[in-house]
Structure formats: C-alpha cells, structure tokens
Amino acid sequence: MEILELPPSKILSFQEVQKSTEFNESRTISPNFGFTKNVYWVRFELKNNSNQRDWFIHVSYPLLDKIDFYESKDKDWNHVVTGDSYLFRERPLEEKSFIFPIKLLPKKNNTYYFRFESEGTVQFPITVYSHERFLKLKEKENLSLGIYYGILFVLVIYNLILLFMLKDFGYLYYLLYISFYGLSQSVLNGLAFQIFWPNSPHWANISLPFVGGFSLFWGLQFTRSFLNTKKNTPTWDKIILVLMGLMLLLMLSSFVFSYYINIYLLASLVMLFAIVVFLVAVVCWDKGYKPARYFLIAWVALLFGVGIYSLKGFGILPANIVTEYGLQAGSAIEMCLLSLGLAYKIKLVNSDKNKAERRMVAYKAKLQDAKLVSSRLEVELLKNNIHPHFLLNSINSTIIWLDEDPETAKLLLTSLSDELRAILKLSNKKTIPIKEEVEICKRYLEIMSLRKESKFEFLTEGIGLKDVIPPIVLLTLVENGVTHGYQGKNAGSFVLKKKKEKNKTKYILFNDGLPTTKSDSLGTGIKYIKSRLQEAFPNKWEFTSRFVMGGWENTIIVFE
C-alpha cells in the first residue's frame, strides 16, 4: 500500500494523482493518522492467485466522512463515492462499514485507488475478503455486537425494574448513563447510522459529540451519586460539577462548531473524564467508603478500553481489533460490575437503615417507658394534690364556717376552685412563667391558712417576667413543706430567690418548716420534679433538697 498525504489546500485531480511521484509505502497494515484535516490518497495492486473472481474490499472504520474509490475497468476507471456524509442507501452495499465489491479474474492483477477525507480521526484499515470469508467475519462480528448490546439491554431492563421497586435515583442515573453510552457506541461502530438515522447524514456527523457528551454527563452524575462525593470529598464534587458543565457545552457546541473541533473536544474530555473519575474513586476508597471498591475495579476495566481507544483516536496506537473493540469490551465489563456495585451499595444502605430503625425502635421503647413513668408520676402527684382527704378536709372546714363565718367559707371555696382549675390547666404545658406558678402556690397557701387557721406567706426575690419553670414543680415543694414541716406551728414562710451566675441560674426555695418524718409522697414528688426538669431542660439542670439552718432549702439550677 502506498500513501500520498496532501494538505487540504492542495487539490489534485485523479489524473494528477496517478502521475504523482510522492507516494510513500505505508509503514503499517492499518494506517491511523489521528485528528487531521489532510487528505490521503491510497494506491495498491491486487493479484489474484486463486480461482475466485468476486471479492470485497473492506474499509472497517465507519466514521470516515468521504471516500472516493477508483477501480480500473476496461481501460477506464469506475468511480464510487461514499462515506457518512452521504445517505446510507447510496453505499455500494448497505453495511455499517464500507464494502466495495470488485471482480478480479484468476491469475490477473489490478490497481485500485482510494481518497480519504474526514473531519474526525483519519484511519483506513483495508482488508480484501472473499465472499465466503467475509460472511464468516460478519457472523462473528454480529455475534459479538449481539452479546454486547444484549448485555446492555438486560442491564437496562434489570435496573429499570429496580428503579421502580426501590425508588432510588442512583438507578435512574445509571440507566441514563448506560443507555446513552450504548447509543454512543452504536454511533462509533456505525450501527446508529444504519438503523436509526440512515437518511440524516448531517445528524450522523454531529451525533457522536452530542450523544457522547450526554453519556459522560450522566456518567459523572452517577459517579456523584454512587460515591456520595458531596459528603465524602466536597472539593472533587465541585470539580465533577465543572466537568459536567463542560459536557453540556460540548453538546451545544456540536450544533455550532465543526465536527473536527467537537470530536477533538470529545476525545479530550473523555480522557479527562476517565482520569477524574478514577482519582475520585481512589480518594473515596482511601477515606473508607466501602462501595468505592466496586466502583474502582469496574472503572479500571473501562479505563483500559477508553485509554486505548483515545490513543488510537490521536494516532498514537494503530487501528486493530484490540484498539477498535477494546472500548466495548471494557465498557461491558464495567457496566456489569457497576450494576453489582450499585446493588452492594443499596445493601449497605439498607443495612445501615435497618440498624438505625432498630435503634429508633429501642429508643422509642425507652421513650415510651419514660413517658409512662412520667405520666404515672404526674397522676400520683395530681392524686396527691387533689387527694380525697385534702378535698374532704377543705369541704368540712367550709361546712363548719358556713354557720360560724360565711365569708371565710366563701373565700375557701373560691380559692379551692381557682387552685384546682389552675392545676388542671397548666399541668400539660412544658414550661410556664414562674410568676404563674407562684400565684398557684399562694392560692394553695391561702387554702391551707384557712383550713389550719394558720398564716402562711410566699415571698419572691429577683424573679423576672421571662423566668420559666415546669408547671406544678414549686407547688409540689410547697405542698410537701406545708404537710410535713409545720406540725404544731400556726405560721410559716416560703421564700423563692433567683441567683444568676456565669452560665447558670439558681432558683432557691426556702421554708422555715422542719419535717419530722420521712414521706413517700415527697419521694414521688421529687421524681416528678426531676422528670419535668429533664423534659424542659434536657441534661441542663440540677436539683437538690437539704436541711439548712432554720429550715429546709430546695435548689433548682438551670444551665445555659
């Protein structure tokens, strides 16, 4: 094979090419010049040493824009024009690559010329086949393509079912990625032009950068979702977003700029895409993210195919079966492994979810138990505060005073009614202003003063309008103080003080009564107080109750 390379500005006629002495013998079996706008003339001679006369000349690269074929025939030249810039039906044979039928008589020889021009990669692997040999080749090729696209089809259906079942967006990104990746592969091997748009050569030329860019876009989004880059590696996540933006620009560029520029950009972005995704997977794996292992192993298979195909596109590697179909083989392995990795990730997520649900169930059970304890304490407290003896004694006192002192009886009933109403109204709230609680305590002391014919008072120091406390807490302390601290006394005093320190506030309730016996109700009351303080100020409180000089002191501390 001899090759004549011409710049696009130098146009020669076929007759001039025939006379040219600048042809050079090809150094490779499958010449590959990468991305170039140069025009290439090819000349070779065939001699038929067999008894067959019908042959096929096969140019297996399907993305060549324009091919001129010249065959010597009866002292004239038969000229055939084809390429993916022409309608598919105009090809000598309707085949995804380029087939040129020739007749060469036994023991004869003939000279053939090709002219190749393309805005993408210029490569022209040329093989001569007998009809029988070519049919066997197509059988193997169709089988390989059938297996490849069959795998993609199964993966699409499988993941589509999982998407509807699990409602996980990771499967949607994966579906879009493998669908458009499969379509881009069909553009590369010529099937898309043959099957989907045989009458649209313009779209056939711009479809590769558009579909390829869209495939890479969803591949990057799948990477973000699968590796959770927003959480695991925020810096790389931003880099991926920038790369996704470049993919969208490439898609728009396919409608604006020439195919030469777009295909060069696509090849560059494919290489950048492969490097970035590989590095992100390594970083996530290094940080202990388990699903990254599957992702990295799967990506190594694709990287191998992408690398050799891109190097072939740039003309660094020759065009052969490995560089031509390595990308499809690598992508098939990668997609299968990614599907397994996605299932593994969902398994891990479900495992973590199940553990969290079990912890939540245990927490809810403990919380329910705590609420039941709190409710029982509250009921016990209300039973204590609205004890039948308390009501009966108050009513009996009222009956006696109805005859002796109607005004006192009326006052007792009014105070008792206000007290019960306030307790029932406020007991369900988490916190109330301390001043409201103080009013409840004062009404209670009014009732006890009338009943015991004693005088109890409640004083405050430093209490502000914004100070809050759980309801019935102070009343519990006052009720226990009156019941158990003033036996044999006809007067008593309760004083509530507020002390503000650096990061805490103290509420000190002092009474001058001295309990003489241990009370079960006091123990229940303290449990109630502690449960309400924990509810209102979780883990930010302290409560103490102790004997001091001249009486009893209860201290509630609230931390900021």
Spatial contact of 492 and 482, defined as CB atoms under 8 Å apart:
yes
pLDDT tens for residues 113-158? 999 999 888 999 999 999 999 999 899 888 888 888 888 888 788 7
Q: Are strands 121-123 and 32-35 parallel, antiparallel or unpaired?
A: antiparallel
pLDDT(506) > 90? yes
Nearest to 313 by CA among 300, 321, 324, 325: 324
For 512, phi and psi rounded to 5 degrees? -90, 20
DSSP 88: G
pLDDT for position 407: 63
Do the beta carbons of residue 553 and residue 508 sit within 8 Å? yes
The tokens describing 444, both together, are 């209670």
Residues in CB range of 5: below 8 A, 6 or more apart: 33, 38, 39, 40
Q: Which of 205-214, 257-266, 320-329 has the lowest mean pLDDT?
A: 320-329
- Nearby residues of 267 by Cβ (< 8 Å), 6 or more positions away: 35, 310, 313, 314
pLDDT number for residue 412: 56
* CA-atom Rg of the chain in angstroms: 45
pTM over 0.85: no
Contacts of 79 (CB under 8 A, 6+ apart): 14, 68, 69, 70
Total residue length of the chain: 560
At position 138, the amino acid (one-letter code) is: K
Q: Which of 172-181, 334-343, 487-496 is predicted with the least confidence, judged by mean pLDDT?
A: 334-343
State the alpha helices, DSSP H only, in 228-320. Answer: 229-232, 234-253, 259-286, 291-313
520 pLDDT band, cuts 50/70/90, is very low
On the question of pLDDT at 205 being above 90, the answer is no
Question: What six digits make up the tokens of 326?
Answer: 């390595």
The whole-angstrom separation of Cα 493 and Cα 509 is 10
Of 35-49, 193-207, 279-293, 506-520, where does mean pLDDT reach its minimum?
A: 506-520
pLDDT band for position 386 (50/70/90)?
A: very low
Q: Are strands 455-461 and 491-500 parallel, antiparallel or unpaired?
A: parallel
Mean pLDDT of the chain: 82
Over residues 207-221, mean pLDDT = 93
pLDDT at 525 over 80: no
Q: What is the mean pLDDT of residues 490-509?
A: 91
pLDDT, mean of residues 26-49: 91
Please tell me the predicted confidence (pLDDT) of residue 519: 47
* More confident of the two residues 440 and 249: 249
Cα gap 135→47, rounded to integer Å: 22
Q: With bands split at pLDDT 50, 70 and 90, how would you rate the model's confidence at 258?
A: confident
Chain position carrying tokens 């748009």? 197
pLDDT of 248 higher than 90: yes
Cα 225 from Cα 232, distance rounded (Å): 11
The SS3 of residue 30 is coil
Q: For residue 30, is pLDDT > 90? A: no
